[in-house]
């Protein structure tokens, strides 16, 4: 038997805003314990003996951050699968099940990347008990012994014990998230466990159930894998094929109707880190019941979670609150209301505000940049380029840039000219000029970038060469995409302004433009 860890890393963790955001979600953050939640997850079943290197399933935008975090944790994955579009867990898990060499002897251990488990040894022991049952053809899951009548989790009801196996039970039913009274009944009975979302099964058994219950999904995933392409260390699934797969979780796709489903109950400390209250429950509390992180001072405050990621935060005379201070957003909430934080994220998206998607610090494969200041027609960033790394050869239609080296050495390509710049030296990049920045040194390169222009969005980039595979098939395609984005922005500004009698005229112009660009 070989054990193949499969780590799902596609969530955005909106309930942990403003710390967790789409571009850098909770699984990539160090929230509790040592390392990010992703690093902790990957380290629970480190490759050795019968445990294979993990398969990671993630989206395109986070691929470089995930690869770097795994490298930092000393883990080289078997495969990093890039989902072109989210289709929930059932199609995602079909990919490693079809990819593995020996499906009949490979037990997949499916783990969400954003859970916290205190005891890694107890976790591995539980996985091995479940794997022994899975080897006999069962679809297994780990059930968490409930500590309170939680209404935010699904529940698993155990049936009879599985004969000749220690600690395994037949699953009688899966239950949806209950109301408070029902949850109390579940807790009192002793026959119900929280659904951890951790599944253990043979790859061929999983595919057999999918073929029986979801044949269209199997066909779509076979096509997506068959037409997949390699991109550096990543596997890109075919977008059209994968998009044709039904959007279903493993619970709805097969587990509720599958045969031979079992559960191994466990009682180690577990949390899905679903929100700020969950982090308060996990955290080490002071004498007033507060969990504090960063530069924080309190007085007359109790049972609260307070986190400062930079400046001093003071809280006076408040109980049962959550205060999260980041560089560009502040959350103050009643602890009983924190599940509604996700509503703010939706409002930010609707209003076109970036705080719902990215932090002021943004990570790139070559390093990172941080927004320092912005105003009408300008913004200022601090950029860090890792030793030996370089940005793409690119140009901008709407902005010019001025770079000032703070420390390190930068090799700057601007048009036909290549210049080596040191500390306190600068260069001007005119609008429309091809340019590139490299760090030829052995220490990080830091610089200040001042942008000026009529549009300063990150989508105003046309790439011509890129060592990270971010160049389009042709420059003409990138030009068409950039023109389309420009047109879409202009139309977006007209929303709510265009008179009703002009709507048809505007729509006709949009249709004509898209037809010209061969879009849609």
Helix 63-72 and helix 37-44: axis angle, to 10°? Answer: 60
Query: pLDDT, tens digit, for every residue of 287-321?
Result: 999 999 999 999 999 999 999 998 999 999 999 99
Angle between helices 37-44 and 120-134 (to 10 degrees): 60
Answer whether residue 18 is part of any domain. Answer: yes
Residue 515 has pLDDT above 70, yes or no: no
pLDDT at 512: 63
User: Is there a single domain that holds both residue 311 and residue 442?
Assistant: no
Q: What is the DSSP letter of 253?
A: I
CA dist., res. 85 & res. 91, Å (int): 11
pLDDT, tens digit (0-9, with 9 covering 90-100), for 204-219: 999 999 999 999 999 9
The last residue of one of the domains, among 455, 471, 487, is 471
Per-residue pLDDT at 103 exceeds 90: yes
| pLDDT the model gives residue 156 | 94
Q: Closest Cα to residue 331, out of 356, 351, 354, 350?
A: 356
CA–CA distance, 391 with 365 (Å, rounded to integer): 9
367 forms beta bridges with 364, 385
**pLDDT per residue over 436-488, tens digit each?**
999 999 999 999 999 999 999 888 999 999 988 876 544 444 455 555 555 55
Q: Are residues 78 and 223 in the same domain?
A: yes
Say what the pLDDT of residue 475 is: 45
Q: Are 183 and 151 in contact (CB under 8 A)?
A: yes
301 and 433 assigned to the same domain: no
Kindly state whether residue 355 falls inside one of the protein's structural domains: no
Note whether 201 and 335 are same-domain residues: no
Does 186 lie in the same domain as 78? yes
Residue 468: partners with Cβ closer than 8 Å, 6 or more residues away: 64, 232, 365, 366, 392
206, 266: one domain:
yes
φ/ψ of residue 395, rounded to 5 = -150, 165
Whose CA is closest to 317, among 332, 292, 298?
298
Question: Distance between CA atoms of 437 and 430, rounded to whole angstroms?
Answer: 14
Alpha-carbon gap, residue 8 to 124, rounded angstroms: 18
Same domain, 150 and 261: yes
Please tell me the distance from the alpha carbon of residue 174 to that of residue 157, in angstroms, as a whole number.
6
pLDDT, mean over the chain: 90
Residue 417 lies in a domain: yes
Domain annotation covers residue 428? yes
Please report how many Cα atoms fall inside a 13 Å half-sphere around the Cα of residue 125, on the Cβ side.
Answer: 10
Rg from Cα positions in the chain = 26
Number of domains forming the structure of the chain: 4
As to burial, measured by CB atoms within 10 angstroms (0-12 exposed, 13-18 middle, 19+ buried), residue 459 is: exposed
Chain-centroid distance, C-alpha 259? 32
Domain that holds residue 317: 276-341
Q: What are phi and psi of 240, to 5 degrees?
A: -65, -40
Does residue 308 share a domain with residue 214?
no
CATH assignment at residue 387: 2.60.120.10
Q: Among the three residues 255, 271, 287, which one is the final residue of a domain in this structure?
A: 271
**Per-residue pLDDT reduced to its tens digit, 78-89:** 999 999 998 999
Query: What count of other Cβ atoms lies within 10 Å of the Cβ of residue 509?
Result: 12
Helix, strand, coil share (%) of the chain residues, nearest 5: 30, 30, 35
Distance, CA of 11 to CA of 280 (rounded, Å): 21
Q: What average pLDDT score do residues 278-284 get?
A: 95
For residues 305 and 382, membership in a common domain is answered with no
Assess whether 196 and 144 both reside in one domain: yes
> For 168, phi and psi rounded to 5 degrees?
-105, 145
Buried b (16+ CB within 10 A) or exposed e, 175-204: beebeeebbeebbeeeebbbbbbbbbbbbb
**518 has pLDDT over 70:** no
Contacts of 12 (CB under 8 A, 6+ apart): 20, 21, 22, 25
H/E run at residue 4: strand 2-9
Contacts of 29 (CB under 8 A, 6+ apart): 16, 19, 20, 36, 37
Mean pLDDT of 388-399: 95
Distances (CA, A) of 518 to 241, 475, 492, 512: 21, 15, 20, 10
Is residue 353 in a domain? no
Rounded to an integer, what distance in angstroms lies between the CA atom of residue 87 and that of residue 71? 27
Closest CA to 327 of 349, 354, 292, 346: 354
CATH value at residue 37: 3.90.550.10
Q: Which residues contact 123 (CB under 8 A, 6 or more apart)?
A: 44, 117, 266, 268
* Residue 347 resides in a domain: no
Place of tokens 């504090």: 292
pLDDT tens-digit map of 126-149:
999 999 999 999 999 999 999 999
Residue 356 lies in a domain: no
In the predicted model, is pLDDT for residue 116 greater than 80? yes
User: Same domain, yes or no, for 120 and 221?
Assistant: yes
pLDDT at residue 503 is higher than 80: no
Phi and psi (nearest 5°) for 374? -155, 155
User: Does the residue 191 lie in any domain?
Assistant: yes
Asked if residue 282 and residue 235 are part of one domain, the reply reads no
Distance CA(513)–CA(517), nearest Å, equals 6
Picking from 241, 271, 301, the residue at the C-terminal end of a domain is 271
Using the structure block, give the residue that is written with the tokens 């959007």. 247
Q: What is the rounded distance in angstroms from the CA atom of residue 449 to the CA atom of residue 282?
A: 40
Q: Is the pLDDT of residue 256 over 90?
A: no
Q: What is the pTM of this model?
A: 0.83
């Amino acid at each position: 038997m070989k054990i193949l860890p499969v780590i799902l890393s596609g969530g955005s963790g909106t309930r942990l805003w403003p710390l967790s955001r789409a571009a850098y979600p909770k699984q990539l953050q160090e929230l509790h314990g040592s390392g990010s939640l992703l690093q902790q997850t990957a380290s629970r079943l480190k490759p050795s003996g019968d445990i294979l290197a993990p398969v990671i399933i993630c989206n395109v935008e986070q691929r470089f951050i995930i690869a770097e975090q795994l490298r930092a944790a000393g883990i080289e994955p078997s495969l990093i699968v890039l989902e072109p579009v989210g289709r929930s867990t059932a199609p995602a898990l079909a990919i490693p099940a079809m990819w593995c060499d020996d499906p009949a002897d490979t037990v997949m251990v499916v783990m969400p990347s954003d859970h916290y488990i205190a005891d890694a040894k107890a976790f591995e022991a539980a996985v091995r008990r479940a794997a022994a049952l899975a080897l006999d053809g069962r679809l297994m899951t780990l059930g968490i012994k409930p500590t309170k009548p939680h209404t935010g989790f699904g529940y698993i009801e155990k049936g009879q014990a599985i004969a000749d196996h220690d600690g395994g039970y037949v699953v009688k039913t899966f239950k949806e998230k209950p109301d408070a009274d029902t949850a109390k009944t579940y807790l009192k009975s002793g026959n119900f466990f929280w659904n951890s979302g951790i599944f253990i099964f043979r790859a061929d058994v999983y595919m057999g159930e999918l073929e029986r219950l979801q044949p269209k999904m199997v066909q779509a995933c076979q096509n997506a894998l068959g037409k997949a392409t390699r991109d550096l260390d990543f596997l890109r699934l075919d977008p059209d094929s994968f998009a044709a797969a039904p959007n279903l979780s493993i619970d709805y796709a097969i587990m509720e109707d599958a045969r031979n489903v079992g559960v191994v109950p466990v009682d180690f400390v577990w949390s899905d880190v679903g929100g700020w209250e969950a982090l308060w429950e996990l955290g080490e509390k002071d004498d007033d019941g507060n969990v504090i992180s960063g530069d924080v001072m309190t007085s007359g405050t109790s049972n609260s979670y307070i986190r400062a990621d930079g400046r001093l935060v003071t809280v006076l005379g408040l109980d049962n609150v959550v205060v999260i201070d980041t560089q560009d957003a502040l959350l103050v909430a009643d602890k009983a209301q924190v599940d509604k934080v996700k509503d703010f994220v939706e409002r930010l998206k609707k209003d076109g505000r970036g705080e719902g998607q990215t932090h002021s610090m943004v990570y790139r494969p070559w390093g990172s940049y941080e927004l320092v200041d912005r105003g009408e027609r300008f913004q200022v960033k601090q950029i860090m380029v890792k030793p030996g790394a370089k940005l793409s050869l690119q140009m901008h239609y709407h902005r010019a840039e001025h770079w000032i080296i703070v420390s390190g050495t930068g090799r700057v390509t601007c048009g036909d000219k290549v210049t080596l710049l040191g500390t306190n030296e600068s260069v001007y990049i005119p609008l429309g000029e091809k340019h590139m920045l490299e760090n030829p040194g052995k220490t990080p390169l830091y610089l200040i970038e001042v942008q000026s222009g009529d549009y300063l969005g990150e989508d105003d980039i046309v790439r011509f060469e890129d060592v990270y595979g971010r160049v389009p098939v042709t420059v003409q395609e990138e030009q068409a995409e950039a023109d389309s984005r420009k047109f879409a922005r202009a139309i977006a500004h007209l929303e709510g302004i265009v008179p009703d009698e002009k709507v048809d005229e505007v729509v006709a112009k949009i249709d004509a433009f898209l037809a010209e660009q061969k879009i849609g």
